[in-house]
Homo-oligomer: A and B are copies of this chain.
């Protein structure tokens, strides 16, 4: 079982409007309400691929209840911990004429110190059943800055590899705790290292403590810097669609590869193909199985031989 931890889960609302008129009054044609947050998206992808997964993290209030009902409807097992605060909503306003989307992100609930302590106890009970734990996304207000570092240490105490997809202070503090894999995107890489060369930046994150680093570069695919070598994996073509959830699909594939011990080339091909298949699907956490099946055979993978010197003596 792969455990995903969503600390700042969300109830994602998608509003479709004929044409968004800023400063105006807009009638929403259809409303879709769905459990969201990066960990939830990762679990959705794992579940759709037929793998066992459990969603955990924090959920509260009416939005938290709606989120749980949606997970139950999707038959996604969850052991979310109830908190006093109200789970945030996100609103994606899809302009049907222009074909673009405006996103509104509520701030997360303020998590109380005793709720964080209870979550650590809760994970202590869930981790023995986990083959890997995925720690993705932002931290809600009230959590300690080193929350992910504490979770990586807790996972290590159970010998469970941790996959981290975070940014800023949460990422920096967790690196030294020794994650099995970190997956920043291009912006997060630059922000965390001050280096604009993604391969050099990924090497720097390895030096700071991550066993492997896979960075997502949008349409340019992924680069991986690992103890076994470094690669760039690119999709054979550029796909139009919704990029939200593409990173989560990559994390799902990379975590499966980690658990199964497949080759890095295979992991990266899967990650790029699933990512592209997620872009081709309108909802975050979903992917287009036909696109996945075609692209996994056609991902372009090149060895980046020159980076060994940057990272691993």
Smallest CB separation, A175 vs chain B (Å): 25
Taking CB as reference atom, which chain B residue is nearest A91? B91
Q: Are B102 and A31 in contact (CB under 8 A)?
A: no
Known: A22-B22, A62-B62. A27 touches B105 (CB 8 A): yes
Cα separation A17 to B93 with both chains bound (whole Å)? 15
Taking CB as reference atom, which chain B residue is nearest A17? B104
Q: Are A100 and B15 in contact (CB under 8 A)?
A: no
Q: Are A102 and B26 in contact (CB under 8 A)?
A: yes
A17, A66, A91, A100, most chain B CB atoms within 10 A: A91
Q: Which of B25, B28, B101, B107 contacts A23 (CB 8 A)?
A: B101
Q: Are B31 and A105 in contact (CB under 8 A)?
A: no
Residues of B within 8 A of A103 (CB): 24-26
Q: Counting CB contacts under 8 A, is A125 at the interface? A: no
Q: Are B100 and A28 in contact (CB under 8 A)?
A: no
- Copy count, this protein chain: 2
Smallest CB separation, A10 vs chain B (Å): 12
Q: Are A31 and B91 in contact (CB under 8 A)?
A: no
Q: Counting CB contacts under 8 A, is A233 at the interface? A: no
Residues of B within 8 A of A98 (CB): 23
Residues of B within 8 A of A24 (CB): 102-103
Residues of B within 8 A of A106 (CB): 15, 28, 31
Query: With A22-B100, A27-B107, A93-B104 given, can you name 6 additional A-B contacts, CB distance below 8 Å?
Result: A20-B22, A21-B102, A23-B100, A23-B101, A62-B65, A62-B66
**Interface pairs A-B: 3 shortest CB-CB:** A25-B103, A62-B62, A23-B100
Can you pick out 24 interface pairs between chain A and chain B where the beta carbons lie within 8 Å of each other? A15-B104, A17-B104, A20-B22, A20-B102, A21-B102, A22-B100, A23-B98, A23-B101, A25-B103, A25-B105, A26-B102, A26-B104, A26-B105, A28-B106, A28-B107, A29-B107, A30-B107, A31-B106, A31-B107, A62-B65, A62-B66, A91-B91, A91-B104, A93-B104
